Amino acid sequence: MGNKSSLLLREEEIAQIQEETGFTPNQIERLYSRFTSLDKNDCGTLSREDFLRIPELAINPLSERIVHSFFAESHDDRVNFLQFMRVLAHFRPIRKKRENKLNSREEKLRFAFSMYDLDSDGKISRDELLAILHMMVGVNISEEQLTSIAERTILEADTNNDQMISFEEFCRALERTDVEQKMSIRFLN
Amino acid sequence: VKPKKERTFVIAAVEFHRVETPFLIGLWIFFASLAKIGFHMVPKFSKMFPESCLLIFVGVLIGALLLSTHSVHVQPLTPDTFFLYMLPPIILDAGYFMPNRLFFDHLGTILLFAVVGTVFNTLTIGASLWACGLTGIFGCTTPLLDMLLFGALISAVDPVAVLAVFEEIHVNEVLYIVVFGESLLNDAVTVVLYHMFEAYTEMGTSRLMYTDFLAGFASFLVVAVGGTCIGVVWGFATGLVTRFTNEVRVIEPIFIFVMAYLAYLNAEMFHMSGILAITFCGITMKNYVEANISHKSHTTIKYTMKMLSSSSETIIFMFLGVATVNNNHVWNTWFVLLTIVFCSVFRIIGVYIFSAVANKFRLHKLNTVEKFVMSYGGLRGAVAFALVLLIDPEVVKLQPMFVTTTIAVIYFTVFIQGITIKPLVKILNVKTVEKRKPTMNERIHERFMDHLMAGVEDILGKHGNHHMRDKFKRFDNRFIRPFLLRNYQGAEPKILETYSKLAMRDAIEYMQRNASTI
């Protein structure tokens, strides 16, 4: 508080973000200072390069998709703070008192699903799944093995036999997973 | 046998002495196992009582029988047999089949309860008993140090008892791992506090200096960190050895058991925490061993481990029962009552204080019901009993009273709490789980979420659980796995493992369904 970054954030902006995302003002200010420290050119928005400059993120196998998911809403190649916060709001832990449309179980799942579904046709195809598997598993495994893993995964989830995983099938396959826990982060106050 | 005058060739003779020890051991195991079968044949009993209660009960019956027949009074549960032979299998089983992910996710909470919680319980129980002693209610002198020594051994939650009860009720995984993890990790604290107060009692109050307390704190770090390190080193060594066993598959299980046991003895040798050593040995080796050994060896290991631990557990509870029946009890009603009251009250207070602290840092907040089950599930067991037997009655004059009281507390927790916890869990509607293998979708999407969360943590510049796990995994995949595994297949071994397991299951099912056509 009181540092340079918090001065740049106007009160009504904080209120709007708070309203929309459910973050507390303290969390917003904290995240804003992180946002400005990522913003190397001081232009109030982040580019893909700004994200990929984070060393740990750059070696994350899914870095490209994660960064991509931040740009889903923006039409140009920059994210402003509000868009940044909207994406992060998906990872807020679910509390009974503070319901919010962005961090419900379904929204969390939808967020994960859209990261698979690159062409946004509402279905995960075999190739989309394979692409993710390639990123996660690495190069030491034979192509056939990966293909059969992908096929098996689709077969398991696919209930309407279209060889794809729709969002409903995706949710059903993760019915017993504690998504509320797995996709939540404790944001510091 | 009547003596014969002429030396003829004896056709048959009884030579009991030669086989006495192994024969008695065999008989104990045999009867304990028979008793276990017996309970499962009466479903009414096994639904109402946890197995541990019934085993203690059978133990008491046998003890009474032995006492009334005036046969040589045997004391089968000595501290040495307990710590060297009966405890290691149970702890190894627990460590080896530990859900690693869950354990490390909740490590902060577990450590808070195991370390700070146990110290809190020891000091409060010891001090309160001492304070009550000042009023003369016990009818004997109760020095502060003796009380603290007693507090140290009585305040440790027992992994054997907790496992025995919690395995049967299947509470949700968070509750399970917190209580069970606490019972495993508090060993280091118990060992240190116990040895510390033991040494202090021998030195006497007058010669204590503040440096002794600092030494106590330092020795806690040594005992805990040392035990853990010994375990981890032996765990890696086991991984390395199994890398070369592909020509001699039959001895694979040997390495797992012997090396884990050596880790335990190795730690005990240096007075470090053997329980921590063998737990972490199990946790460490599992990652590497499972990739190296054959499917059949894996099955052997699994079942041998389960068998050893469940028979150890059976015998421990039965021996506890047998050990109860003897003539050396010193019953002190007030002392027993107050100990039980303080144990329960401070457990509850401790759980509430420390879970309030933990909740400040946790994603999943511990709710009231969970707090209650945690405080209620703090069972005391054979570790306390073995420790109280280790006290030298020459130094601590109250030792016989301590023994009786410890037994009473164990009975109270195992019987009253053990029997009521199952219905309580039902009444309070605690979430329960069934164990199952992950499906392909769950495996992949959950891994995907882990990577995603690690990425988000990095974007936030926050070094949380996901970030640490990611870091370790990367290190593991680059520097450890290539050296310890025979067929190193790159990252994400779990996805492959799940796949091959599912494929194997499908193949077996297919074979069974189409047996006639093949």
List, for residues B30-85, the tens digit of each pLDDT value: 988 898 888 888 888 777 888 888 889 888 988 888 888 776 556 777 888 889 99
* CB-CB under 8 Å, A148 with B499: yes
* CB-CB under 8 Å, B455 with A62: yes
* CB-CB under 8 Å, A185 with B490: no
Rounded to 5, what percent of chain B is helix, strand, coil? 75, 0, 25
Whether the per-residue pLDDT at B436 is higher than 80: the answer is no
pLDDT band, very low/low/confident/very high, at A98 (cuts 50, 70, 90): low
Tens-digit pLDDT profile for residues A16-26: 888 888 888 88
Nearest-Cα distance to chain A for B475, in Å, is 12
Read off the tokens for B350.
Answer: 């401790």
Q: What is the pLDDT of residue B409?
A: 94
Whether the per-residue pLDDT at B483 is higher than 60: the answer is yes
Which one of A62, A111, A130, A172 makes the best mutation probe of the B interface by having the most chain B beta carbons within 10 Å?
A62
Considering only CB atoms, A153 lies closest to which of B440, B488, B496, namely B440
CB B115 within 8 A of CB B185: yes
In this structure, chain A runs to a length of 189
A156 vs B279, higher pLDDT: B279
CB A63 within 8 A of CB A74: no
* CB-CB under 8 Å, B447 with A136: yes
Report the 3 state secondary structure along B240-282.
HHHCCCCCCHHHHHHHHHHHHHHHHHHHHHCCCCHHHHHHHHH
DSSP state at residue B84 = I
Q: What is the pLDDT of residue B51?
A: 82
Tens-digit pLDDT profile for residues B114-149: 999 999 999 999 999 999 888 877 777 788 888 999
CB B262 within 8 A of CB B215: no
CB contact, 8 Å: B489 with chain A? yes
Q: Which residue of B has its CA nearest to A92?
A: B363
CB contact, 8 Å: B433 with chain A? no
Q: B339: closest CA among B139, B104, B150, B76?
A: B150
Q: What is the pLDDT of residue B126?
A: 93
Backbone angles phi, psi at B129, to 5 degrees: -65, -40
DSSP H helices in B360-398:
368-376, 382-390
CB contact, 8 Å: B463 with chain A? no
Considering only CB atoms, B453 lies closest to which of A61, A115, A185, namely A185
Rounded to whole angstroms, what are the CA distances from A53 to A30, A32, A69, A83, B91? 20, 18, 16, 19, 45
Whether the per-residue pLDDT at B401 is higher than 60: the answer is yes
Mean pLDDT (whole number) for B449-458: 89
Whether the per-residue pLDDT at A1 is higher than 50: the answer is no
**Bridge partners, A79 (sequence order):** A46
The helix (run of H) or strand (run of E) holding residue B474 is helix B465-475
Pick the most confident of A78-87, B196-205, B261-270, B362-371: B261-270
pLDDT band, very low/low/confident/very high, at A4 (cuts 50, 70, 90): very low
pLDDT band, very low/low/confident/very high, at B259 (cuts 50, 70, 90): very high
Q: Which residue of A has its CA nearest to B467?
A: A56
Q: What is the pLDDT of residue A146?
A: 86
In this prediction the pTM is 0.86
* CB-CB under 8 Å, A181 with B363: yes
Q: What is the pLDDT of residue B356?
A: 93
Alpha carbon distance B154, B361 (integer Å): 29
pLDDT band, very low/low/confident/very high, at A5 (cuts 50, 70, 90): very low
Read off the tokens for B431.
Answer: 């979430």
Tens-digit pLDDT profile for residues A23-46: 888 888 888 888 888 888 778 888
* CB-CB under 8 Å, B503 with A156: no
Residues from chain B that touch A137, judged by Cβ atoms under 8 A, are: 490-492, 495-496
Q: B363: closest CA among B465, B501, B479?
A: B465
Nearest-Cα distance to chain B for A95, in Å, is 10
Alpha carbon distance B326, B410 (integer Å): 16
CB B465 within 8 A of CB B221: no
Alpha carbon distance B192, B114 (integer Å): 13
Mean pLDDT (whole number) for B458-473: 85
Whether the per-residue pLDDT at B197 is higher than 80: the answer is yes
